Amino acid sequence: MTNMGSKALFRKFGVALASKPKFDLLILLVAMAIAGVLGYAINIVVKRSVSAPEFVEFATFWGALYLGVGLLSGLQQEVTRSASTPLVSEKEKDIPGTKPRQVVGFGLFITTLGVLLCCLFFLPPNYFGITNDVGAGLLLLGLAGYVIVATMTGLLYGVSNGVKVIAAMIASDATLRFLLVSLQLQFGYSTTFIELATGIPFLLVPILIYPYARKFLTSGLLLVGSPIELMKNSVSTMTAAGAMAFLISGFPLAIRWSLGSEDPGLLATLIFVVTLARAPLIIVAMSLQSFLVARIRQGADSGGLLSKVGWFLALFSALFSVALAATGDIVFSFLAGQSIHVELGIYLSVGLSSGLIAAMFVVGASLLAEDNHVAYLTMWLVSAGITLVLCTFDALADLKLAAILVFPPSIGLLTALGWATQTRIKDRVRVE
């Protein structure tokens, strides 16, 4: 099929090729910068306004919410991959597709089951500072909204030039969350209401943005692949995303578990520093993964694109580690409004960890674009598994945290690179 014929078939089935990828990337980066700054601001405002035990409660709920968000990002990635897959033969036009509402229903079922099981049967009582049934309700409210967000953004990434809408969703979500949390703190700290303010923007943003987003989506759109196939791939990608989220957004849970016997003040400090310091690079890489998958699936030079992003991450990570080591105590003491001291090794480990995890997203984009779900899943599961094992070891707090930050992503990244290299060698031999 000619290139023109392929493009025509793309458009016929609701898949519009992005016409301005560099401009789209700039818009996304601006929206991510806004979201990153406001995420910083929320944690800073809360840290300055509440006691150390209250901040640990808030950070635990925040970590659990974004652990769920990270898991559901796997659903977004699979929707993006399916929506941006061109149909290249007349025979494929007759293959049953998957309706977006079926994706939403599947996501809501998985989310409800997971939240209720974890909160009502596995977590200690009052884990989020309130009874676990109330905590489950607040968590489920936010994550149900994110199921809709994940489906909408996956479709917009994959089937239309709707990057402006995605950027608007990212920026408005962060803005609304910052306003609601700040407003709640003006009336005095309340565990229930601050957790409600943290989660509910995920439900409100799709409602506010949908009237604008619907014109970017083709009516009656079907995703490539049967519902069973899409759900099977989604489970694999979501499992990987859940492991990924545990290493990032859910990392406060790992810190609390592994260092729970430490002084609450030290625990709050470590959670505060690690969360804020790792956020910039990881958030950018995580948010760009679906963009990279879509660009590679739509014919971009994957080697050149991923190489440029990888070199940028390596350089930024090195410079960031040095900057943290030199100025970390000064910066975080100013942000927290109180004296903060963290060992030099922790700062270096945090900077290195952020670069390693960001690199995993770049490698992961290549694996997903090549439909290599097994390697993608293995990369994140290996990293999460090593993290869990290290959390059980007895060691000095600083040494233990440094090991948890650096070793798991290093081994996971090496595993994925080795697997990808071996697969390409086999493919080359098969072709020859």
Residue 86 falls inside a structural domain:
yes
DSSP of 306-366, one letter per residue?
HHHHHHHHHHHHHHHHHHHHHHHHHHHHHHHTS-----HHHHHHHHHHHHHHHHHHHHHHH
Residue 430 falls inside a structural domain:
no
Residue 88's φ and ψ, nearest 5 degrees, are -110, 10
Structure tokens at 341: 């001291």
CA–CA separation, 322 and 328 (whole Å): 10
Structure tokens at 63: 């970590």
What amino acid is encoded at 345 in this protein?
G
**0.75 exceeded by pTM:** no
Residue 33's φ and ψ, nearest 5 degrees, are -65, -45
Could you tell me which residues come within 8 angstroms of residue 74 by beta carbon, excluding any fewer than 6 positions away? 234, 236, 237, 238, 239, 240, 241, 242
Residue 171's φ and ψ, nearest 5 degrees, are -70, -40
Residue 268's φ and ψ, nearest 5 degrees, are -60, -40
Give the CA dihedral 51, 54, 59, 62, nearest 10 degrees.
Answer: -130
Instruction: Return the CA Rg of the chain.
Output: 21
63 to 37, 83, 112, 135: CA distances (angstroms): 17, 30, 18, 13
Residue 1 falls inside a structural domain:
no
Residue 295 falls inside a structural domain:
yes
CA–CA separation, 263 and 63 (whole Å): 20
The answer to whether 247 and 383 have CB atoms below 8 angstroms apart is yes
Q: Which domain holds residue 214?
A: 17-422
Residue 429 falls inside a structural domain:
no
- The continuous run of DSSP H or E covering 245 comes out as helix 227-247
Mean pLDDT score of the chain:
80
How many residues belong to the chain? Answer: 432
Per-residue pLDDT of the chain in tens (432 residues, 90 and over written 9): 444 443 333 333 333 333 455 567 778 878 888 888 898 889 889 988 888 888 888 988 998 898 888 888 878 877 777 765 554 434 445 556 667 778 788 888 888 998 999 888 888 888 888 888 898 999 999 999 999 998 888 888 766 567 888 889 999 999 999 999 999 999 888 889 999 999 999 999 999 988 887 777 665 565 656 667 777 777 777 887 788 788 887 888 888 888 866 777 888 888 888 888 887 777 777 777 777 777 777 665 556 667 777 788 888 888 888 999 899 899 999 888 888 888 888 999 999 998 898 888 888 888 877 777 788 888 989 999 999 999 888 888 888 999 999 999 999 989 888 877 776 666 665 555
**C-beta neighbour count of 129 within 10 angstroms:** 20
Residue 427 falls inside a structural domain:
no
- Name 223's bridge partners: 98
What amino acid is encoded at 124 in this protein?
P
CA–CA separation, 347 and 260 (whole Å): 20
- Name 98's bridge partners: 223
Residue 68 falls inside a structural domain:
yes
pLDDT in tens, 62-102: 988 988 888 888 788 777 777 655 544 344 455 566 677 78
What amino acid is encoded at 377 in this protein?
L
Structure tokens at 330: 């000064």
How far is C-alpha 173 from the chain's CA centre?
14
Residue 6 falls inside a structural domain:
no
DSSP of 181-231, one letter per residue?
HHHHHHT---HHHHHHHHHTHHHHHHHHHHHHHGGGS-TT--BSS-HHHHH
pLDDT in tens, 263-302: 778 888 888 888 888 877 777 777 777 777 777 776 655 5
Could you tell me which residues come within 8 angstroms of residue 98 by beta carbon, excluding any fewer than 6 positions away? 82, 222, 223, 225, 226, 227, 230
Domain count, the chain: 1
Give the CA dihedral 238, 240, 241, 247, nearest 10 degrees.
Answer: 150
Structure tokens at 297: 């699936």
How far is C-alpha 191 from the chain's CA centre?
25
- DSSP code, position 65: H
